[in-house]
Amino acid sequence: MHGQRVLTQCLRTARGLCPCLASQHTTARFAGGCQGQSKPSTKVGWVQRRHAQEMASGSEKMLEAEYLSTEDAQPCSTSSLTKSSTPAFLARKGVLNARGQLMLKSLTYTDLEQWCISVGERPQRARQLWKWMYYDGGWVRSLDDTADLQDGLSAAFREQWRDRITVDGGLRLRSVHKAADGTRKMVFDLQDSPEAAGAGVEAVIIPVERPGASRPRTTLCVSSQVGCAQNCQFCFTGRMGLRVQLSAAQIVEQVVEARRHVAEHNRRVAAGELPAAAPLAPISNIVFMGMGEPLHNFEAVGVALEVLCHPQGLQLSPNKVTVSTVGLVPQMRALAARSAVQLAVSLHATTDEVRSWIVPLNRRYPLAELIGALEELYPKNAAVRPRVGRHVLFEYVLLRGVNDSLEDAERLIQLTSAIECKVNLILFNPHAGTPFKASHQEQVLAFQAVLKAAGVLCTVRDSRGDDEMAACGQLGNIDELNQLAPMLKPPLRFKDALVAA
Ligand code: SF4
């Protein structure tokens, strides 16, 4: 008999994967079902199987786990297993790595508590693990990093779990590129994702000093996918197509690694090792504006948001975390219902004709549907606004001769008139092979002036890090790709405008 915490039905015998395999048994022994010839030496066994799942833009491996706790280390007995108590998080993608280890950074705090209880650990163990993963100055890379430290994980716990759980985030920092303006692009290799070979995950640390602001801050721009399926025509990342959906752990790890980088930089400044450098402000703001469409990876991003904003974890305020989307309307509604983080919508055009060309997702969710949803979620009328102080940020990249006319500015005023919002105008950052060009400075100012005159809150975003391809729309690597996402035919009247631009 298994003990009380046997959690899943022993279907593994049929495919030679009895959980007892984790300790002593061999597949051959279970050809006819587990008979329990040997007694496992450990309390808990993990089994996992890997499914190859074809994604629209390439293959993505999905790991599916089944968990078994063998309280008193007896072999399998189907009748004693109860599936209802299987932790629900095990059904999520990216919870196990290719070695079958549980990725603790893919779990919310509630998941982690649930896991502790399910394996017979005290719930307080969750708090201890959480602290070592996320609390300032913790950020450990392995369970063993806590040995000999006050409140470190016990030797017995580490011994028992070392091979089965990991605090690793599934990324390895490959390089950091510093731009002239102090922006730093971090490039990570993905473990266990050969389909992303060479491409890497990119996150950008952006020190921000605003005139008049009481103190500087640091913003981190994170990626949610490698490449992107949306194929926005002006975006370098979009040319890659979708290569990999990042797991929650891989998203969270970008933040943890960036905090390690800032802490190490500041330590070196304080030690006099970098005489010309100033310390960096702590990372207080996160924007999901790196590689990928975050709402196309909704589940992983949702978990990552919970981890980032947990008060005992990475402690980010939801007001300081912004998720940007090109307008996946159902997921946008779901995010607003699930999280208090800020929403940014990449609008980029004021007519369906232009938007369906430069933001192809508009063909599925045209402007009327997108704007209608935003009018419901962020109504200007304070009496019906669901949450005080909430607004949506519209992002609008200005492309010379395409979407930067004063008529566009007037239409933008109309489109946003019933929405509590701000508008952020973005200067286009060119990349090799693009047919688009940045708007002239006078046109940018004239466009902004029309919006301001109508009372629209409107800023122009600085271009940061473009000398290291770290600026908005420049992330990614297409060198090793033999197939790029297609450039779409522009509407006829823009053909000339593009050539002449
Ligand atoms: S702009 Fe954003 S959504 Fe569009 S292709 Fe680039 S990364 Fe994807």
> CA 465, CA 179: separation in Å to the nearest integer?
5
Asked whether 254 lines ligand 1 (CB < 6 A), one says no
- pLDDT reported for residue 161: 96
> What is the crossing angle of helices 441-453 and 406-415, to 10°?
40
Confidence of residue 486 (pLDDT cuts 50, 70, 90): confident
Chosen domain end from 86, 109, 128: 86
Assess if residue 423 is contained within a domain.
Answer: yes
> CA 325, CA 187: separation in Å to the nearest integer?
22
Q: Which of 117-131, 283-297, 474-488 has the lowest mean pLDDT?
A: 474-488
- pLDDT reported for residue 475: 64
CB under 8 A, 24+ apart: contacts of 137-145? 137/263, 139/256, 139/259, 139/260, 140/167, 141/167, 141/168, 142/166, 142/167, 142/168, 143/167
- pLDDT reported for residue 80: 29
Assess if residue 465 is contained within a domain.
Answer: yes
Query: Among all residues, which ones are annotated catalytic?
Result: 202, 472
Arithmetic mean of pLDDT, 409-421: 97
> CA 343, CA 200: separation in Å to the nearest integer?
26
Instruction: List pLDDT tens digits, range 133-148.
Output: 998 778 999 999 999 8
Asked whether 370 lines ligand 1 (CB < 6 A), one says no
> What is the crossing angle of helices 298-308 and 248-270, to 10°?
40
Asked whether 204 lines ligand 1 (CB < 6 A), one says no
Residues 226 and 367 in one domain: yes
Confidence of residue 30 (pLDDT cuts 50, 70, 90): very low
> CA 406, CA 411: separation in Å to the nearest integer?
9
- pLDDT reported for residue 14: 26
Residues 314 and 197 in one domain: yes
- pLDDT reported for residue 434: 87
Residue 490 CB-density burial (10 A; 0-12 exposed, 13-18 middle, 19+ buried) = middle
Residues 194 and 79 in one domain: no
Residues 308 and 200 in one domain: yes
> CA 69, CA 121: separation in Å to the nearest integer?
12
Residues 440 and 330 in one domain: yes
Please identify, by atom number, the ligand 1 atom nearest to the C-alpha of residue 292. 7
- The domain in which residue 24 lies consists of 1-86
Assess if residue 123 is contained within a domain.
Answer: no
Which residue's CA is the closest to the ligand 1 atom numbered 3?
A: 293
Which amino acid is residue 110, in one-letter code? T
Q: Which of 71-85, 159-173, 181-195, 279-293 has the lowest mean pLDDT?
A: 71-85
Instruction: List pLDDT tens digits, range 12-24.
Output: 222 222 222 222 2
Most confident of 64-73, 82-91, 265-274: 265-274
Reference 326, options 297, 350, 347; nearest CA is 347
Residues 57 and 176 in one domain: no
DSSP string, 447-493: HHHHHHHTT--EEEEPP-SGGGT-STT-----TT-S--PPPPPPPHH
Residues 80 and 213 in one domain: no
Residue 81 has pLDDT above 60, yes or no: no
Residues 359 and 228 in one domain: yes
Chosen domain end from 30, 57, 86: 86
Residues 75 and 214 in one domain: no
Residue 45 has pLDDT above 60, yes or no: no
Assess if residue 215 is contained within a domain.
Answer: yes
> CA 246, CA 446: separation in Å to the nearest integer?
40
Mean pLDDT taken over the chain? 80
**341, 305 contact by CB (below 8 A):** yes
Residues 184 and 80 in one domain: no
Asked whether 325 lines ligand 1 (CB < 6 A), one says no
Q: What is the CATH number of the domain that holds 471?
A: 3.20.20.70
Assess if residue 237 is contained within a domain.
Answer: yes
Residue 46 has pLDDT above 60, yes or no: no
Assess if residue 206 is contained within a domain.
Answer: yes
CA angle 121, 153, 69 (to 5 degrees): 30
The structural domain count of the chain equals 2
Confidence of residue 64 (pLDDT cuts 50, 70, 90): very low
Residues 369 and 481 in one domain: yes
Chosen domain end from 71, 86, 101: 86
CA 475 – ligand 1 centroid, Å: 10
Assess if residue 102 is contained within a domain.
Answer: no
Residues 82 and 175 in one domain: no
Assess if residue 337 is contained within a domain.
Answer: yes
